[in-house]
Every structure is written in structure tokens, then in C-alpha cells.
Amino acid sequence: MAQRAVWLLRHEPGTALGGTVKFSRRYPTVEKRAKIFNGKSYVPVPEDGPFLKALLFQLRLLDDDKDFVERRDSCSHINKSPVYELLVGGEELWPVVAFLRDDMIYASVPLVERALSPRPSLISISGVSQGLELLFGIQDFLYSNQKNDTDLNTKLSQLPDLLLQACPLGTLLDANLQNSLTSINFSPVTQPQKQPAWKVGTYKGKPQISISITEKVKCMQYGKQDIADTWQVVGTVTCKCDLEGIMPNVTVSLNLPTNGSPLQDIIVHPCVTSLDSAILTSSSIDTMDDSAFSGPYKFPFTPPLESFNLCHYTSQVPVPPILGSYHMKEEEAQLKITVNLKLHESVKNNFEICEAHIPFYNRGPITHVEYKVSFGQLEVFREKSLLVWIIGQKFPKSMEMSLSGTLMFGVKGHNKQPFDHICIGNTAYVKLHFRISDYTLTGCYADQHSVQVFASGKAKISAYRRLISSDYFIWNSKAPAPVTYASLLP
């Protein structure tokens, strides 16, 4: 239950390396233990530079990293994020715990107290969960009450001293770094209530609870009668509970409107103490009927100190939020395209961002383009062989819009133009990128007034929700063999 190393890396697109190392800490005593435990499968922790490059590559954050890479992007590769395997200097460093929040990448290498070949299951490696807890604690410390970069730099300068207390010799004692900052030279008072082993500290300060619901909608639209379109909503409820006391209790209720889509495949955090059996048995495999449980979904729990995912869920909404069609046809030396989009009447017409990306893989740079858009504006990235249709914050009153155009391409280069193994010939797509705040496709929301808090002081409760597109594709209906999820499997 220790960490071999910890990093804070800032993602900086456009720079030579793609990012910078803001903080790193290695624990030599833990590294010696790793060498003994891992034996012949031991891989040393790399220097900051190679580690930064390898992690940015694995997270697909390098500016020039657009091509398909078999070992990273193949469908046979099982993604187990936030745990990754990094190829550094010809050796595979595993496990590496890492996640991106805003522009900062938080990473650690936990100690595995056994040989790595064959690889043990992640659930048997206690250092993975401890590493996540430490990284979440660092994230909360850096961005609580942070107003500008000066505040961030000040907190970064405090990290070495704080980790001496919170994580001495790589072993986590307290994930709440604010406690370490305020409790220096402070003698602990004997607590009347026993401190649970999984909770490594207590919170001191103003009580507050933040609840965030994020839904991601995935979609494949083909425009063909013999192949059905597919779509799915995946939701995550994230909580951050700053409450005094050793074991405060909280109950959060998720509600649906009358016409809301029931939540299914619900997976909860281990801190949840009890659940209605109807919540656990609702599955997307079963046929939907009127008797499906539609809430309220109550989650009583004893919160950890750091931000955590209270639950994950899926839902089968009746229609995708944006319906579309894409027609691309090659005539002699030019391409003719037509894109039609329609916002469903039930969807909130107020976007933070809404764009349609139209890539032209395996072709040269765009040399000539003529187009007509009924709404929004079109940006042409000639060297990237890419059109970006910027729709903006609202669809027109008709809820429909169209784009038509003719393109010509030059000679394909070796490095700059995008390449794809699937999108060959007329097999092409439009990918939608959109985000809507204060809205979920299922209608799911957290009622602030129904949150029950059993702790000292009256907590300030805030709730947020948003809808984000994820892998939202509209395929060319003229393609000879439309791509399905099954066809991507080896």
C-alpha cells in the first residue's frame, strides 16, 4: 500500500513536448521494495521527460498523434482507465494510475507487492485505490478556492512539505491535504468515535455538498433501412461532501420527470450503505415495459473526503438528441457532400458548444471547396483535410439545418494528412461534438431540497447537470458497407 512516484503534469497543446512537469516526487525506499517484489518483471520508474511523453501518447494528447496505433487503439485492447500501461524505453511500465482534469494530469505508480508476470488483477492491488485517493486529494487541494495561476503556483510550492505529512515514504495517511496544512504542530484530540480504516482523515471547515450529473450520449446513425441506428446514454453522478465529523451520513435522491427514461445497469460506490432492490435489478438487457422502476433513486452513504463517483448508469432514451443524414459521393476528381441535421423537439435548444466535424481520411490536402450552409459557419482546415461546421449555441427556429458542398484534394503527403484503416473510399462520417448545461437526456436531476444530511452544521448544497456527446457518428449513407460496432471487433 505505497506509491513509487507521483506526478503533476500540465497538458500544453502546441508546445514542443505537449506539456510540462509541474511536480514530481519519487520514493527510493518504495522503489527498492518494488525491485524485490517484482523480481525479473521489475521496470524502473523513468525520468520525468520520458514519462511525460509516454503518458501523453497513451492519453492521445500529443498534437501529432492522430494515426491508429495497434497496441493502444485496437478493439482487442481492453481499456481499464484510469489504470494504464506505458511503453518507456522499450519496457512496459504497469500499473500507472492517471487522469486528466482541466489541463492538469495527475499520475502515480503504485507498488505491486508481487511479481508482475502473470499480471495480478487490479482489485488485488491496494496501491491502485490508494493512489487514486491521493491524486483526488491533491486535485481538491490545488483547486479549492483557487482564483488564478498565482494561487496554483503557491499551492504547488507547498506540496513537498504537505506530502511529507500526508504521504510519508510513499504511504498515504491523509488524503485531505488541507488537514496537513492546518494541523502542522497540532496534537490530535482523542475522538469519541472510532475512525474507520478506509477514511484517512476528517474535514474541518464550512459544510457543503456538490452533486454533478454528467450524461454522455453515444450514437451511430447510418441512414439505411436494413441497418438500425443505435444510441445509448451513460450517466455518472459525482459528489464532493465537505462535512465535519468522522462518519457523517448523506442521502441523495435522483428523480425523473413523468416522461423520463428509467435508469438501468446502476453501479454504485462502495460507500453506499443500502439500496432498493429495484434499483439493482433494472437492466438494459431486459425488455422495457411500463412497470420499469422510475425512481426516486435513493442513495444513502457515508462519503469519503475526496470527490467520488456516487453511481454510474445507462438509459434507453427513445430517440437521439440530434438526427442527421450524410451523403458523400465521388465524381471524377471531386467529392460532393450533403449534411442534414435536425434537433429533436424535446431537447433543450441552448448549447455551450455544438460542432460537426467532417474529416476526409486517406486523401490529400483540400485544394478547393465550394459550400452552402443554411445556418452557422464553416471552417476549412486544408492541411488536415477537415471541415468544421460551427453551429453555435442554438439551432434555428425550424430545428433543421443543412450543408452542401463540393471539394477537391491535392496529392496526399506522408505525414500531415490523417489516415484511417476503416474510412476508405465512400466509408466516411460526420462526428458531432456538443455540450448542454443544466440538462440531461433522461431528465434525471438531483433535488437539492431532498438531500438529507446527518452531520453538524447546515450544509450548503449545490447541484449541476449536463449532457455531452461521446462517439456521436453519422455515417455516409452511400457507403457500400456501413460500419457497426460489431465490425470493429477483430
Strand positions, DSSP E, 154-227: 208-221
**What single DSSP character describes residue 244?**
B
- Give the number of other Cβ atoms within 10 Å of residue 384's Cβ: 16
Q: Are 466 and 436 in contact (CB under 8 A)?
A: yes
Question: What pLDDT is attached to residue 460?
Answer: 93
Is 208-319+441-474 in the same CATH topology as 2-183? no
Please report how many Cα atoms fall inside a 13 Å half-sphere around the Cα of residue 6, on the Cβ side. 28
Where in the chain are the domains? Answer: 2-183, 208-319+441-474, 322-438
Residue 451 Ramachandran class (φ > 0 left, ψ -120 to 50 alpha, else beta): beta
Q: Are 452 and 459 in contact (CB under 8 A)?
A: no
DSSP for 121-171? PGGG-HHHHHHHHHHHHHHHHHHTT--SHHHHHHHHHHHHHHHHHHSGGG-
Question: What pLDDT is attached to residue 420?
Answer: 75
Question: What pLDDT is attached to residue 490?
Answer: 40
CATH fold of 208-319+441-474, please? Answer: Immunoglobulin-like (2.60.40)
- Could you say which architecture CATH assigns to the domain 2-183? 2-Layer Sandwich (3.30)
The radius of gyration of the chain's CA atoms, rounded to the nearest angstrom, is 25
Question: What pLDDT is attached to residue 357?
Answer: 95
Superfamily name with CATH number, domain 322-438: Mu homology domain, subdomain B (2.60.40.1170)
**What residue ranges of the chain have pLDDT lower than 50?**
185-191, 485-490
| Cβ-based neighbours of 281, under 8 Å, separated by 6 or more | none
Q: Are 76 and 490 in contact (CB under 8 A)?
A: yes
CA angle 211, 214, 216 (to 5 degrees): 170
